[in-house]
Chains A and B, each alone.
Chain A
Amino acid sequence: MRAFEYTSPKTVSEAADLLAEKGDLARVLAGGTDLIVQVREGKRHLERIVDIKDIPEANVLSYDPQAGLHLGSAVPCYKIYGDKAISAAFPALADSTHIIGGTAIQGRAAVGGNLCNASPAADTIPALIVLEATCIIAGTNGTREIPVEQFCTAPGITVLQNGEFLESLKVPAPKSNSSSFYLRFIPRNEMDIAVVGAGASVVLDDAKESIVSARIALAAVAPTPLFAEEASVLLAGRAASDESAIEEAAEAAKTIARPISDMRGSAEQRVHLVGVLTKRALNGAIQRVKES
C-alpha cells in the first residue's frame, strides 16, 4: 500500500473539485468496505481519498409515502433495513442490505458504495433496478440524473466522469398492491458473494389476482447487473397464481444471462440458477403483496 492523501470535504462542490483535480488517482470513500480492501491489497494505487461522510447530501435518509425514498450515497446498510417504514415500502432493498457481509460490514457499507463499486455481483443493484431507482450524480458543473440500470457499464466501471460522484438515489413511492423481493444463491449461508442474485417487483390488481406489471433484475450473470426487461414485460396481465407465466419469465430471464465460469460457479450452473431464483423472487414478491 502506498501513502495517499485523505480528505473529508464538507460540501458537494468541494468534493467534486478534489476529485476533478486528481482524476483516476482520486476515489470516493463511503463505508470503505470495498475501497480499503482494494487499496490495502495493492489492487488500486491512489493519491487521494475523498471521504464523503461529512457531506450532508450524501447522508440524507428520508421516506415519504408520496415522494418516495431519498437515500444519500453514504448511508450505511443497517440504517435502511433498520427503518421499519423503509423496509415495509421497499422489501427488496431491505433484503439486499441485510445480506451484505455481516453485521459489522453492514454498519459501514453503503448502498451508494455497493453501486459505485459496480461489481456484477453487487446485491443491492438488482433491488434498486426493480424499484426503479434514479441516480443523482453530482459534478463540477452541477447534477444530472440517470436510471440505475444504466449506471454500471462494465465490471468496476460506471458512467461517472472525471470530477463526478454519486450524491444520492431516489426511489419512487411503492404503488398500491405492489411488493418486491431479492435473494441470491450462495453455497454458504453468510460471507459469500452471490453466485447469482435475482430481484423482482410486482404490481397486482386490486383483487391481488393478476399481475399488472413486474420488473426482474439479475446479478452475477453478465458484466453488469441486468434489467430483464423482456421477462418482466411478458408477465403483465397474467394471473399471479399462473405457474406457467412465472416459468416463462424465468426462461426468458435465462436467455439474457451470459455468465462466465469462475471460482464462484460455472456458467451452466449460473444459467440454471437464474431460472430457479427468478421464480423464487417473483413468487416471493407476489406472496408479499398477498400477505400485505
Chain B
Amino acid sequence: MAVEKEYKVIGTRPIRHDGVDKVTGRALYGADYQAAGLLHGRVLRSPHAHARIKSINTSRAEAYPGVKAVVTAADLTASQDKIVDLGEGAVNLKFMCDNILAREKALYKGHAVAAVAALNGHIAEEALELIDVEYEVLPSAIEVRAAMQDDAPLVHEDMKTDEMGKQSENSSNIASHFQHKKGDIEKGFAEADVVIEHDYVTGTVHQGYIEPHNASAVYNADGEITIWCSTQGAFNARGQVAEILQHPVSKVKVVPMEIGGGFGGKISVYLEPLAALLSKKSGRPVKVLMSREDVFESTGPTPASYVRVKIGATNDGRITAAEAYIAFEAGAYPGSPVGAAAMCVFSPYKIENGFIDAYDVLVNKAKTNAYRAPGSTNVAFATETIIDEICEKIGMDPIEFRLLNSAKEGDSRVDGPVFPRIGFIETVEAAKDHPHYSAPLEGKHKGRGTATGFWPNFAFKSSVSINVNPDGTISLVEGSTDIGGSRASIAMQAAEVLGISAESVHPTVVDTNSVGYTDVTGGSHTTYTTGLAAYEAAQDVKSQMIERAAKLWEVDAKEIEFADGIFRYVNGKEEEIDFKGLAEKLGQTGGPLMGRASVAPSGAGSSIGTHIVDVEVDVDTGKVEILRYTATQDAGKAIHPSYVEGQIQGGAVQGIGWALNEEYIFNEDGQMTNASFLDYRMPTSYDLPMIDAVIVEVPHPGHPFGVRGVGETPIVAPPAAIANAIYDAVGVRLTELPMSPERVLKALGKI
C-alpha cells in the first residue's frame, strides 16, 4: 500500500543510465547491426490499395547478379484461421501472416508482396523492379462510413460481423459491433435542459517515430533463429515470429536493440519474419530496412474515425445522459482500438445514463496499430468540445463543470469497470490554480481552451533479476525495451529498496533467452509493472542480504533490521554494515547473490490529465499558432520527474500535431500522397511553445510507491483543448481533425 513517505532516490533526477551512449552516438540501434557476409533486404510493395494478385514471377530478380534470395507468400506456411493470444490481445494467425506477405490479394497500398536479399541495398532495390506481379485492380473501400454501406467493396469477401459474439449472415466490412449500456438513456436526455450533439471526423495519424523499422536475422542450419530488431517487446516479437513461421518459440531468440521511438507502432512485426525467411533461403545474415515512405504506408498508424456524441445536462451543470456512436477504421484486418475508445469516451465523468455503440470497420488501408492512448484522443475530441459548448450554453466555467461531474472512487464507467482512486479532481484543480488559467489574454483572435484526457492504463507481466556486484553496485536485468527513460525509473525503484544510489544500479535490457518473460513496453505499464518487478527483485535481494549479514554476525536473521541502506543488529551487541560493505563480503558468506521477481499484477492506476492552451488564429490564412500550453497530469508518484515531464510534453506535442496538421492524405484510389516528413506535417520546435508540465501525485494504491503510467494520457486532451481555444478566439467550432489552415478558413467562411 502506498504510504506518504520521504524517499532518497525516488523523486530525484539522476542522469539516465543510457544517456552517455546515446549522446555520444555509441548506442546501437537496429540499423547498426553488422555481421560478416551480411545481406541487405528490401520489400516489394503493392502500388494498389486493393488488387487480386494473379501471379508473381520472381525469376528475373533471382537471376540478377548479387541477388541471394527472394521470398513471397509461397514461402510462408499457408496458415489457417486460428486465434492466437500473444499477450496483447488475441489475433487471427491468417491475418497476421497475410499482413507479412500478401497472398491472394493486396489489401492496401504498401502491402508487402515479395522481399529480396542481395549483396547491397541498391542491388536489392534494382531486383524489386524485376519481380513481375500481375494484379487485377479492385475497387477499394477507403473511408469508414462508405465502407460500412451494404454495397461497399469488401476488403475480405467472407468477413462476417461479430455482433456481440454472434456472427452476422452477410459479409460486411464491419468486423465487429458492440454496445455498452448504463441506466436509462431516454430518461436521462428527458431530464436535460441542454442537449448538444455533433458529428466528428478524424484523419489517420502516424506515431512518427524517428527510427524506421528494421530487422536483422540469422537462421542457422539447426533451426535456431536469432533476430535483432527495434521493438517495444522482444518476447512479443518472438511470439509473433514463431507463430508466423510455425517455428518452436524456444528456437527463436529476439535481441532488442535500442529503439528510436515506438509509441505503440513497434509492437507488430513486419520485417522480422521476412529477414528470417531470407536468411533461411540464403544461408547468410540478412538485414531489412524500411524507408520513411514504407513506414508511413506499411506499418500501423492510428485509425481515422467517425464519431457522433450527444450529451445532455441540466442548467446547473449536471450531466444527465451521454451517448456515442463510434466507428473506427481498422485498416485491412480487424482490430482497431475502438474497444479502448469505448472505455474512454465518457470517462472520467460520472455518467448515470450512457449508451455506446461501436464499430470496427475494415478499409483498404494498412492495418492500424496502437498509438499513445489508442482511440481515446479521437473520442475525447468529441466529448470535451461538447462539454465546452454545454458550458457556454449554461454559462458555466468548464473547469467548474468538470469538478462537478468528475467520477470518483466507486463510480462506474459506462463500459462497466468501477473506478478505484483516481486523480481527476486533483488535475482539474491543478489546472485551475495554475497562473496560466487566470492570466489575461489580450489581443484580437486569441483564445483559451481547456480539456481533460483519460487513459485507463494497463497492467501486464514483467520479470527482473538483480546480481549484486562485489563493489556494492547491482546489475539489473530487464526485458522492457526503454523508449522513454524507463531504464532509469526502474533502476531507481530497486535503488530505493536497497538504499543505494541510482548510479549504483546498472540496468540492461536483454534478449529473450536472458530474462524472464516480459510484456511489451506499452499500455503505460512499464514503470508500473517492471518497476514492481524491480521492487520485488530488490526485496528478494534485501532478504537474502539480511541472511548474509546474519551469517556474518552469527545471529538470527529475524533480528536484523535494514533501513537507510544499513543492516543493523541491535539485540545486545551492536553491529552494522552498509550495502556496499556487505556486498564485499558475499564471498565469505555463501557466494554470489541474485534476486529475481516475475510479476503479473492486476489493476493499473488510470491516469488523467487536464490541459490549458492559448492560441492565436490568423483569420486570413487559417493558421493556428500555439501561444502557451500547460498540461497537468496525475503520475501517482513520479519516480524520475524529468521523464514524467518528458512524457507529458511529448504527448502534448503529438496531440498538438494531430490537432493542427497531421493526417494521411489519400487520393481517390486510396493511395497516400504525403508519405514523407515534408508533407506529413508534424510540428517542429518552431511551432511550439515550451510545454509547461505540471505533475500531480495521487498515489496508485496498487503500487508500493504509488506509480501510475504516464506515457499515453497526455496525447488525449490537446485536440479538444485547441478546438475549444479556437472557438474562444474566432467563434467557430471545428469538428474535423486536423484543424488545418484550410479547414479553419472554411469554418470562417473565407473559402
Asked if residues A273 and B621 are in contact (CB atoms below 8 Å), the reply is: yes
User: CB of B673 within 8 A of chain A?
Assistant: yes
Verify if B751 is at the interface (C-beta below 8 Å from A): yes
A2–B126 contact, CB under 8 A? yes
Known contacts A1-B125, A190-B684, A191-B684; A263 and B742 CB within 8 A of each other: no
A268 to B622, CA, bound (A): 13
The dominant DSSP class at the B interface is loop
Chain B, residues 706-744, CB within 8 Å of chain A (1/0): the string is 000000000000000000000000000000000011100
- Asked whether A272 is an interface residue with its Cβ less than 8 Å from the other chain, the reply is yes
CB <8 Å contact, A187 and B122? no
A196: nearest chain-B partner, CB-CB: B621
A185 to B620 Cα, complex, angstroms: 11
Residue of B with least CB distance to A271: B751
Q: In the complex, A17 Cα to B741 Cα: how many Å?
A: 48
Selected from B126, B679, B745, B751, the residue in CB contact (under 8 A) with A264 is B679
Query: How many residues belonging to A are interface residues under a CB distance threshold of 8 Å?
Result: 23
With both chains docked as a complex, state the minimum distance between the C-beta of B656 and any C-beta of chain A, in angstroms. Answer: 11
**Is B660 interfacial (CB-CB < 8 Å)?**
yes
| B-chain residues with CB within 8 Å of residue A3 when the two chains form the complex | 122
Which residues between 33 and 77 of chain B lie within 8 Å of chain A, taking CB atoms? Answer: none
- Asked if B678 is an interface residue, CB under 8 A from chain A, the answer is yes
| A262 x B686 contact (CB < 8 A) | no
- A11 interface hit (Cβ, 8 Å): no
A185 to B674 alpha-carbon distance, docked (Å): 18
Q: Is the Cβ of B686 less than 8 Å from the Cβ of A192?
A: no
Which DSSP category, helix, strand, loop or mixed, fits chain A's interface?
loop
A187 x B661 contact (CB < 8 A)? yes
Given A187-B623, A262-B673, CB of A192 within 8 Å of CB of B126: no
**Chain A CB within 8 A of B683 CB:** yes
Contacts of A189 in B (CB 8 A): 684, 686-687
Chain A residues within 8 Å of B751, by CB = 266, 268-269, 272
Is B750 an interface residue, CB under 8 A from the partner? yes
B contact residues around A222 at 8 Å (CB): none
B681 within 8 Å of A by Cβ?
yes
Give the complex CA separation of A3 and B623 in angstroms: 44
Q: Which residue of A lies closest to B661 (CB)?
A: A187
Whether B122 lies near A276 (C-beta < 8 A) is: no
| Cα distance, A278 to B740, chains bound together (Å) | 21
CB distance from A203 to the nearest CB of B (A): 26
8 Å CB interface, A188-233 against B: 188-193, 195
A127 to chain B, nearest CB (A): 20
Q: Is B93's CB within 8 Å of the partner chain A?
A: no
Known pairs A190-B686, A266-B742, A269-B751; list 5 more (Cβ under 8 Å): A3-B122, A187-B661, A188-B684, A263-B674, A269-B741
Chosen A-B contacts, 25 in total, with CB atoms closer than 8 Å, are A1-B125, A2-B126, A42-B125, A185-B621, A185-B741, A187-B660, A187-B661, A187-B740, A188-B683, A188-B684, A189-B687, A190-B686, A191-B677, A191-B678, A192-B678, A193-B679, A262-B673, A263-B665, A263-B674, A266-B742, A266-B751, A269-B742, A269-B745, A269-B751, A276-B621
Interface residues of B (CB under 8 A from A): 122, 125-126, 620-623, 660-661, 665, 673-674, 677-679, 681, 683-684, 686-687, 740-742, 745, 750-751
Residues of A within 8 A of B (CB): 1-3, 42, 185, 187-193, 195, 262-266, 268-269, 272-273, 276
